[in-house]
Structure 1
Amino acid sequence: MCILFYICLSSLSVVIICGNLLVIISIIYFKQLHTPTNYLILSLAVADLLVGLVVFPLSMAFSLSSCLYHDDLFCKYYAVCQPLTYRTKINGRVAVIMILVSWSVSGLVTTGFLMAGSMQDKCKEKCLTDVALAIMIGMIFSFYLPLIIMLCIYLKIFLVAQRQARSIQSTKSGATVSKMESKATKTLAIVMGVFLMCWTPLFLYLMFDSLGYYSMVLVTEAVYWLALLNSLLNPFIYAFFYSWFRSALRIIISGKIFQGDFANSKLH
C-alpha cells in the first residue's frame, strides 16, 4: 500500500510539474501572451510548479510518519467591470506590483506559521493558548479573509458580465447572449468551486485542530493532499480551457519551437 501510495503521489508531482511548465513556457515564449493578465497566470503557475518540485517531495518524505505530526515546520477584476480602461489602468508594471505583493504576503504568512510552530516547541503549557490564537489569526488572514474578498469580487464580475451581456442583446441573438451568460457562470463556478473544494477542508480541519479537538491521522492526510491537488488542477482551469494555450501546447509538444522562431506566431 505504501509503495502504491508513493507511486501515485510521484505521478501527480510529475503531472503538476509538466502542466505548469507548459503554462510557463507558453507565456514566456509567445509574445502574443505577454499581457498583464497572463503575467498573473504565470505567477500562479510558478507557485504551483514549486508545489510540485518542493512541497510534494517533502510531504511524501514525511507523510504517514511521526515527523509530520511532531514537527510543526511543515504545517502551514477590473477587466470585466471597466473594460474600456483596463489596458490603461492594468499595465505590466501594475501586474508586477500585484505579483510582488502576493508573494510578499505569502512569505510573511508562512514566516508567521513557522514562528508559531517554533514557539509551540519551546514554550510551556501556559503559552499554548497564545500559539493557538496566533495560528487562528494566521488562518484568517491567509485563507478566510482572502476567500471572502474573492467571493465578493467574483460575484461582482458575474453580475457585471450578465448585465453587459443583456445590454448587447439588441445586436446579438438571444441564443448568443444566453451562451455568454452560461460561459461566465461556468467559468466562475469552476474557478471558485475547485478552489473551495481543495482548500476549505484543510483550513476547517486546522481550525478545529487548533482549538484542541481530537485529530485523526487519516483525516489529516486526506485534507492535506486534497489541498495540494489544487496545484494539479490549476493548469487545466486557468490555461487548458483557453484556445491560445491549446495552440501553444501543440507547437511546444511537436518540438517546433526548437526548429525555428515561433515567438510571434498567431495563437488562436
Structure 2
Amino acid sequence: MYLGFVVLEGLLAMAIISTNLLVCATLCFHKELRHITNYLILCLAVADLGVGALAIPFSMVLSMGYTLSFYTCLFLTCFPLVTTQFSIFLLLVIAVNTHLKITLPNSYARYVKKGRVMVLVAFCWLLSLLIGISPMMGWNRLAQYVEDGNRTTAVSSPSERVAFIILARDLPYAGFLSKVYPGPPQNFSAGVVHHGHLGHCSFTSVFSPEYLVYFVFFTCTLLPLVAMLGIYLDLFRVVHGHFQSQVFWVAKRGEIQTARTLFLLVGVFCVCWLPLHVIYCLQLLCPTCQTYESLDNLAILLSHMNSLANPLIYALRKKDFGRACHSVLLHRVLHLPRLWFCSHPSPKVHPQT
C-alpha cells in the first residue's frame, strides 16, 4: 500500500510541477495576458508549485512512518498548511477582484492597481505562514509525541535504538532540540540521546485534533469559502438582474465567463479538500469511529490533485489562455532539443521564424 501511494504521489508531483510551470511560462512569454486576474492565477500557480515540489515529497516521507525528532516532523507537516491556506486566501482575493471588476467598472481601474494587489498577495503569504507555523509556537502534541516515543523506544530492540541515536545525531535540529525539549541536557555528538525526543512521525501525531478541526477547518477554511460563496452568489445576482440589458451582457460577457471559471475553481477546491477535513472531524468528534488508512491516503491524494486541477481548469475554460499555453508547449518546450542543436553552427540548419 505504501509503495502504491508513493508512486502515485510521485507521478502527481511531476504532473503538478509541469502544468504549473507551463502556466508561469505562458504569462512570461505572452505579454497580452498580463492583467491583474492572470497575475493572481500566476500566484496560485506558484503556490501549487510549492505543493508539487515540497508538500508532496514531505507527504511521501510522512507516509513511510519514519521515526523522527518532534520538530523535524512538525516542520514537514506545517509546510502543506502554509500553501493550502495561501490558496484559500488567494481564491478569496480573486473572488473580490472579479466582483469589483464586474459591478464597479468605472472605479475599478482607479482603485485596483497591480502594486496594491501584490501587497495584498504578500500579506496573504504572511498570514498563511503565521497560521501554518502556529503549531511550532506551542499548539501541538509535544507531550503525547514524547510519551509515544518513549513507549516505542522502550519496546524496540538494541539495534533499533542505535539507529534512533544515529538518526537523531544527524538531524539538522539536533543541537536546537537539546535546548527546547524538557529533560536533562543531551550530548548528541557523543551519541547520547533522550529517546523521548523521537517518535512515529505522521500528520496527526504532531497536530492537535482541535487545531486541525476548529482552527484550520472551521475558522481558516470554511469561513473564507462561505465568504467566496456569498461573493459569487451576489455577483451572479447582479448579472441576472442585468440580463435583460443586451448592452451589459455583450460588454461583460468575457468577465462573466471568467467569473464562472473562478467559481468552478472554488468548487473543485471544496471537492478536493473537504474529504480530508471530514476525516479529521470524525477522528475528533467520533473517537470510536473506525477509520481506514487507505481512505486517509485517498483523501490526501485527492487534496493534492487540486494543485493539478487549477491550471487545467483555467486553461480549458479560458480560450485565450489555453491557446497561449498550447503555443508555449509546442514552440517553447517541445522544440527545445531542436534549438539546442541549432546552437551549433551548421550550413544545413536554417534559423526558425
Give the TM-score band, short-chain normalised. 0.7 to 0.9
The aligned runs of 1:1-268 (5 Å cut-off) are: 2-63=2-63, 65-67=64-66, 71=73, 73-74=76-77, 76=81, 77-114=99-136, 115-117=138-140, 119=142, 121=144, 131-135=208-212, 136-168=214-246, 187=261, 190-211=264-285, 213=287, 214=289, 215-255=291-331
The one-letter amino acid paired with 2:65 is S
Question: In the aligned structure 2, how far is the partner of 1:189 from the partner of 1:170?
Answer: 21
Question: 1:223 Cα deviation (Å)?
Answer: 1.6
Question: 1:21 Cα deviation (Å)?
Answer: 0.6
Q: Deviations over 1:27-49 (max 9, x none)?
A: 23322122121111111000001
Q: Deviations over 1:152-208 (max 9, x none)?
A: 111112212222333227987xxxx9x999957953662232111111111222223
Q: Deviations over 1:13-60 (max 9, x none)?
A: 111111111111112332212212111111100000110111112212
The one-letter amino acid paired with 2:270 is L
Aligned to 1:265: none
Question: In the aligned structure 2, how far is the partner of 1:235 from the partner of 1:170?
Answer: 29
- Work out whether residues 21 and 49 of structure 2, in 8 Å CA contact, stay in contact via their aligned partners in 1: yes
Question: In the aligned structure 2, how far is the partner of 1:206 from the partner of 1:165?
Answer: 43
Q: List gaps (5 residues or longer) in structure 1.
A: 125-129, 260-268
The one-letter amino acid paired with 1:66 is G
- Work out whether residues 194 and 230 of structure 1, in 8 Å CA contact, stay in contact via their aligned partners in 2: yes
**In structure 2, do the counterparts of structure 1 residues 89 and 180 end up closer, same or farther at CA, with 3 Å as the change threshold?**
closer
Query: Which SS does the other structure have where 1:41 is aligned?
Result: helix
The one-letter amino acid paired with 1:82 is L
Higher relative contact order (CA 8 A, sep 6+): 1
Tell me which moved more, 139-148 or 40-49: 139-148
Question: In the aligned structure 2, how far is the partner of 1:25 from the partner of 1:103?
Answer: 22
Question: In the aligned structure 1, how far is the partner of 2:259 from the partner of 2:38?
Answer: 21
Question: 1:121 Cα deviation (Å)?
Answer: 4.2
- Work out whether residues 17 and 53 of structure 2, in 8 Å CA contact, stay in contact via their aligned partners in 1: yes
- Work out whether residues 19 and 308 of structure 2, in 8 Å CA contact, stay in contact via their aligned partners in 1: yes
**In structure 2, do the counterparts of structure 1 residues 2 and 139 end up closer, same or farther at CA, with 3 Å as the change threshold?**
closer
- Work out whether residues 162 and 181 of structure 1, in 8 Å CA contact, stay in contact via their aligned partners in 2: no
Question: 1:131 Cα deviation (Å)?
Answer: 4.5
TM (norm. structure 2) is 0.61
Q: Deviations over 1:79-126 (max 9, x none)?
A: 1221232222211012102211221121111012444235454688xx
Aligned to 1:262: none
Query: Which SS does the other structure have where 1:6 is aligned?
Result: helix
Question: In the aligned structure 1, how far is the partner of 2:249 from the partner of 2:10?
Answer: 52
Question: In the aligned structure 1, how far is the partner of 2:249 from the partner of 2:309?
Answer: 37
Q: List gaps (5 residues or longer) in structure 2.
A: 82-98, 148-206, 340-353
- Work out whether residues 242 and 249 of structure 2, in 8 Å CA contact, stay in contact via their aligned partners in 1: no
Aligned to 1:263: none
Tell me which moved more, 49-58 or 85-94: 85-94
TM (norm. structure 1) is 0.78
The one-letter amino acid paired with 1:86 is Y
State which structure, 1 or 2, has the greater radius of gyration over its C-alpha atoms.
Answer: 2
The one-letter amino acid paired with 1:100 is A
Question: In the aligned structure 2, how far is the partner of 1:98 from the partner of 1:171?
Answer: 30
Question: In the aligned structure 2, how far is the partner of 1:193 from the partner of 1:49?
Answer: 20
- Work out whether residues 15 and 232 of structure 1, in 8 Å CA contact, stay in contact via their aligned partners in 2: yes
The one-letter amino acid paired with 1:228 is H
Q: Deviations over 1:211-243 (max 9, x none)?
A: 462443222212222111100100012233212
How many positions carry a matched residue from both structures?
A: 250
